[in-house]
Structure 1
Amino acid sequence: MSPRSRASGDPQPPGDAPDEPLDEIAGIFDDMLRHARELLAVRSPLDAELIVSEILGSWWGRWPVDDDVDRLIGEALVGHAARAGTPAALALLTGMAYLGTTRQAVKAERAALELMDHGVARPGWADRVGMVVAEECFTSRDVYGDQDSIVCTFGYAGEERHALVVTVDHNRSGMVRDAWVSSQVDKLFEHCREEDRSNPLVVFRQMDPRDTRALLEHALTVTGEQDDPPVTDTFAAYHAFLRARVRALPPGGLPPRAPVHGRDWRATLAARFLASDEAEGLSDRSAAGRCVDRIIEFGCEDDHGRPLRVSPVKCELFLLDWLPRKVLLSPAEHDAMPHVLAAWVRWAARQTGLPSEGVRATLDAVWDATGRFTRLFRDPEAFGLDPSVVRRLLPDGELEALPRRAFALPFLSGEHHVPGRGRIDLATLDPADPADRRTMLEFEHPGAAEEHLAAHERLAVRLWNAEPPELWEAAQALLDAGQERHQILHRLIEVLERCRDDPDALRAALVALRHDPPPM
């Protein structure tokens, strides 16, 4: 968008007074304006946009999203440039009017118009910056479904044709990992088509630009939601450019949606596998059944509802990252898991038509990872807890639930006198059993009224099942803030009682509690 497109007399939105830069970052702004002098030497709007994107990317990803860095720094940069009043400052503002966030763009455009009214010279490319037209979109996709290299071409009224290449990683929730720009469009397409012809593991095909926009918007959102996204070192410099080019694609596409597979569907899929020729050689059928349940769970919950998708990278993530973090395997399950996974790879590949080259590469990855998987095996004693205690807290093997459940029900040993029943050894009780759980809570709260015990019981059940997950997140935030466990329990009970049966209100209250813990 050119600054000429808005009249300088437009009213200023409420609360849009010029921002004063923070003292500690004023020097950084001066460095950015010196960098912006390069904008006076270029003639191409594409080169100008890439320079501005690099400047805007200098702070991208360096602070958590909650800090609203774009508001604090980006809009303050607009004010700093406006006060500088130099041709380089005007050039930077002109680029920000197209590449910035919505608020940055409005402020930058207004500031640019004011500088122009004072006679500051505009760069030669100013009328063309952002005036791009989207052309075609393609994807170069590996047959595993691990990642897409999306290629979108653009031009300025038929001139300066260029390609934006974006890497979307489907093993990382569909996030953007990398982006770059090439002016050698024909050479890039020639390389992609040649790889499509010669490599059976790569497919190059055209995409609907509307669906491409929806996919990239979703992928950018996923990237932005992570505190420390695993992007390439150069990604920040292209982030603003990528965001603006995505907006230049036509709207109306369907964003990617993961299918939701319920318990019955998963059980049927597991039964089909266990009855297959590929699973015939698995000796411990009971352990194999539990292992395949975990494989399906991983595919449904962490791979967009695609348990049948197999790849070398996905299998390594499953064995070396997801399982050690989330699941406490029995010794029998640990021994069986690599063999079950290998059988699953062969069976799933037959269902999906994965080429034989892909099957071999995936099986190689499974066996290569098996040694490291064995070393990562978590013995219950590694937690500093008696193995029997761990088994009582994790009857479902959900490893990530261990600290949450130990927080909810920490008294798992000792003796408790119950009127009419005598002394009860807490070590013999099952915390997953409602009656035993009630006995544990009575031990922790001797003489408490029925209403008080019932409130603690409702909280314990919710913490045990992570319903909702924000409950344990709030508890951890309060622990980090120095609150004692009993205080935290009562804070959480108060929120539960206040929100009653309104799940949206409960989640909102817990998020607020997490971000603004009470003073000690």
Structure 2
Amino acid sequence: MSKSNRQRRAAKHRKARRDDRSMRHQAAEPDLFTQIRTALVDPDPLHLLSYVSSLLTAVDPRGKTHPFAPAGEGPDGPTREELAAMFMDVPTPETTALLSVVAELAGDDELLHARIRRELATRPEAGPHWIRRLAEASAYRAVRMAHVLGDGDNIMIGVRLGDHELTLVVYVDHNLGQLVKDAFVVSEPIAVILAQYQTIADEPDLIWEELSLADARAWVDEAIAIGAITYPPIETESWPGCRPLIEWIIRSLPEGGSGYQRPQWDSKKLDRLADRFFASQWGRSLDDADHRGLLESLLWYGTDYGPGDPLRWSGVQVEILFMDWLPRKVVAPTEYLAEAPELLRAFVCFAHNESDVRADLTEQTLAAIDYYAPEYQKIIRSPRPQGPAALLDALGEFDEPYWYQEMELETLARQVGGEEQLDQLDTVPLPDEPFDWSGIPDDVTPRVAEVLELADGCCDALLDVEYRTIARRVLARVAATGPAVFRRKARADTAAAAVVWIAGKANGQCELAAGRQRLRSTDITRHFDIKGSPSQRGEVMLRAADFPSHGYDVELGSPDYLTAERREQIIRRRDELREQIASDD
């Protein structure tokens, strides 16, 4: 970024801060005491409780700081302690009532709670009788309302406050990561709210479940915690304004409950699911290496994102998959990605049949696929940021690449084993070297020799001498460091495919790079005539050999595992990044 751009960017940020302070000043203009008096004469406790909750939300720093903001930079405005101190400095009946509620709703801060209580002990009581009974508020019932497709759950909690009843309704959205997407509190018993929901949402696809109070606490606690670290924060008319009020009740519930339980799908279970699909009437005509590889990506999304159940697909999940996740996450040729809508249509029919989802819901999901497919086809044919760049673009920071530059430099250093290795990197091709048998136990030598022969053959057929050397080095390290991998009953060709996949993945990110030709994992499975992705066995080997773990990336942490071409790419990008950073200083 040029200095002039940075100056313009800084000016825009300063203006935004001035505008924000101006808006908060305007919001503070109405007479505070008039609002408190109005709330105090209202027989409904929720009026004052909601007002105090909104005040505490206004000074809550959660979700207000950009994740890429410089260290120490935080939101402007008073803290919760400063807000309470302002009310302590004005001893009136209005502030006394206000402080009584603040003490309860801010009860997670024991020091602040004790400080307010000491101040209140010096003042005469003020406000309606229910204020003095806030500590006695208790939840007595919790219910979960869910949908068979699993997009989200409403957690409803009934609360008694003296002669009054409140119901908390918290919507936990699974497509956004099990966070609170919306919540509100109403002055009605939970039985009344349940009856209203059951009348309005009278459909066979809803699930009603009584929850223990401990489980309700776990559900809501986890969803609030995830939402609090999400940027930009999700805001609705009532959320997060009611968050302090809901957290006050949740703190009083018993601990030790269980929150959302993601369906468990291991690699074997997913392999069996894929085999059933490709043997079914819906998948039989699609059974080839490319479609099997693409299904791996759909199952990755279906198990690791959203609700986590690949047998249930909603229109919302389809939208996220096609409009964001697949174009951003999977780096592959356009013609390969273009097959996703047809494959997903077939898989949804199969999956919903297996999970007994009603035909009407299946038709709705298929209609969503048809609706988003044209735009998806445009997206995958257009230039677009991916990986960390896509994250920054979503945050509106891609035009301010300083943070991305620093992050990418750290990634390059990590790939080669550190900054010193990054500085000393060269482009000398790796030699054609023999396999290193040192340190490999005798009992696994025959199996390792079998895997070595197969891996060599794949590299000779699909790649080159450098990749063969890398594959040999990877295999030698796995066999010496984690020989138990070769003591298990497993096919040698699957192990060889995994070794080649590791070598290629480390040098070409999501795809293997062989000169100007691009090689997908499906080409490896086709060479070995095996089913299933080599990535699953590869991940086992990476852990056994104690290679660095970085999620879905394969970074072996040494130039010894990088081709000359890959090292040249790293050197070129290293120099570009350093030049850009220097020009910005």
TM-score, normalization by structure 1: 0.66
The yes-or-no answer on 1:82 pairing with 2:88 is yes
Corresponding position of 1:517: none
Corresponding position of 1:507: none
Corresponding position of 2:112: 107
Alignment RMSD: 4.4
Corresponding position of 1:52: 52
Structure 1 Cα separation of the partners of residues 294 and 152 of structure 2: 26
Q: Does structure 1 retain, via aligned residues, the 8 Å contact 2:103–2:116? A: no
Q: Does structure 1 retain, via aligned residues, the 8 Å contact 2:430–2:466? A: no
Relative contact order (C-alpha < 8 Å, sep 6+): which is higher? Answer: 2
Q: Does structure 1 retain, via aligned residues, the 8 Å contact 2:262–2:307? A: yes
Amino acid corresponding to residue 63 of structure 1 in structure 2: K
The yes-or-no answer on 1:174 pairing with 2:178 is yes
Structure 1 Cα separation of the partners of residues 360 and 144 of structure 2: 21
Q: Does structure 2 retain, via aligned residues, the 8 Å contact 1:167–1:178? A: yes
Of 304, 312, 316, the match for 1:313: 316
Change over 3 Å in CA distance of 1:71–1:466 after alignment to 2: farther
Change over 3 Å in CA distance of 1:191–1:114 after alignment to 2: closer
Corresponding position of 2:142: 137
SS at 2:142's partner residue?
strand
Structure 2 Cα separation of the partners of residues 432 and 405 of structure 1: 25
SS at 1:278's partner residue?
coil
Corresponding position of 2:151: 146
Corresponding position of 2:558: none
Q: CA deviation at 1:53?
A: 0.8
The yes-or-no answer on 1:297 pairing with 2:303 is no
Select between 128-137 and 145-154 the one with higher mean Cα deviation. 128-137
The yes-or-no answer on 1:128 pairing with 2:129 is no
Select between 29-38 and 122-131 the one with higher mean Cα deviation. 29-38
Report Cα offsets for 1:413-439 as digits up to 9, x if no partner.
xx9677999xxxxxx989977659x9x
Change over 3 Å in CA distance of 1:267–1:124 after alignment to 2: same
Residues paired across the two proteins, number: 406
Change over 3 Å in CA distance of 1:358–1:84 after alignment to 2: same
The yes-or-no answer on 1:217 pairing with 2:244 is no
Structure 1 Cα separation of the partners of residues 74 and 250 of structure 2: 22
Structure 2 Cα separation of the partners of residues 271 and 162 of structure 1: 51
Q: Does structure 2 retain, via aligned residues, the 8 Å contact 1:138–1:152? A: yes
Q: Does structure 2 retain, via aligned residues, the 8 Å contact 1:152–1:163? A: yes
The yes-or-no answer on 1:98 pairing with 2:104 is yes
Structure 1 Cα separation of the partners of residues 384 and 27 of structure 2: 51
Structure 2 Cα separation of the partners of residues 74 and 430 of structure 1: 64
Alignment of 1:23-422 (within 5 A): 33-34=32-33, 35-60=35-60, 61=62, 63-64=64-65, 73-100=79-106, 102-103=108-109, 106-119=111-124, 121=126, 124-157=129-162, 159-185=163-189, 186-195=191-200, 198-259=202-263, 261-282=265-286, 285-303=288-306, 305-378=308-381, 407=412
Amino acid corresponding to residue 278 of structure 1 in structure 2: W
Report Cα offsets for 1:272-295 as digits up to 9, x if no partner.
22112221233x622211111011
SS at 1:85's partner residue?
coil
SS at 2:54's partner residue?
helix
Q: Does structure 2 retain, via aligned residues, the 8 Å contact 1:155–1:162? A: yes
TM-score, normalization by structure 2: 0.59
Q: CA deviation at 1:172?
A: 1.0
Q: Which runs of 5+ in 1 are unaligned?
A: 1-22, 384-399, 422-427, 439-459, 473-483, 490-519
Q: Does structure 1 retain, via aligned residues, the 8 Å contact 2:171–2:180? A: yes
Structure 2 Cα separation of the partners of residues 63 and 432 of structure 1: 47
Q: Does structure 1 retain, via aligned residues, the 8 Å contact 2:153–2:173? A: yes
Structure 2 Cα separation of the partners of residues 146 and 324 of structure 1: 21
Structure 1 Cα separation of the partners of residues 368 and 378 of structure 2: 16
Report Cα offsets for 1:64-87 as digits up to 9, x if no partner.
288787996111212222122232
SS at 1:135's partner residue?
strand
Change over 3 Å in CA distance of 1:418–1:218 after alignment to 2: closer
Report Cα offsets for 1:35-71 as digits up to 9, x if no partner.
5444443444333222211221224456228878799
Q: CA deviation at 1:176?
A: 0.7
Of 533, 541, 549, the match for 1:467: 549
Q: CA deviation at 1:379?
A: 5.6
Q: CA deviation at 1:359?
A: 0.7
Q: Does structure 2 retain, via aligned residues, the 8 Å contact 1:135–1:154? A: yes
Change over 3 Å in CA distance of 1:321–1:55 after alignment to 2: same
SS at 2:136's partner residue?
coil
Structure 1 Cα separation of the partners of residues 107 and 75 of structure 2: 11
Report Cα offsets for 1:99-127 as digits up to 9, x if no partner.
11522x54244234324415474554321
SS at 1:273's partner residue?
helix
Q: CA deviation at 1:251?
A: 2.7
Change over 3 Å in CA distance of 1:129–1:142 after alignment to 2: same
Amino acid corresponding to residue 122 of structure 2 in structure 1: D
Q: Does structure 1 retain, via aligned residues, the 8 Å contact 2:142–2:213? A: yes
SS at 1:128's partner residue?
helix
Structure 2 Cα separation of the partners of residues 50 and 120 of structure 1: 21
Report Cα offsets for 1:349-401 as digits up to 9, x if no partner.
12211111111111111111111110111467999xxxxxxxxxxxxxxxx9x
SS at 1:232's partner residue?
coil
SS at 2:168's partner residue?
strand
Q: Does structure 2 retain, via aligned residues, the 8 Å contact 1:287–1:332? A: no
Change over 3 Å in CA distance of 1:205–1:32 after alignment to 2: farther
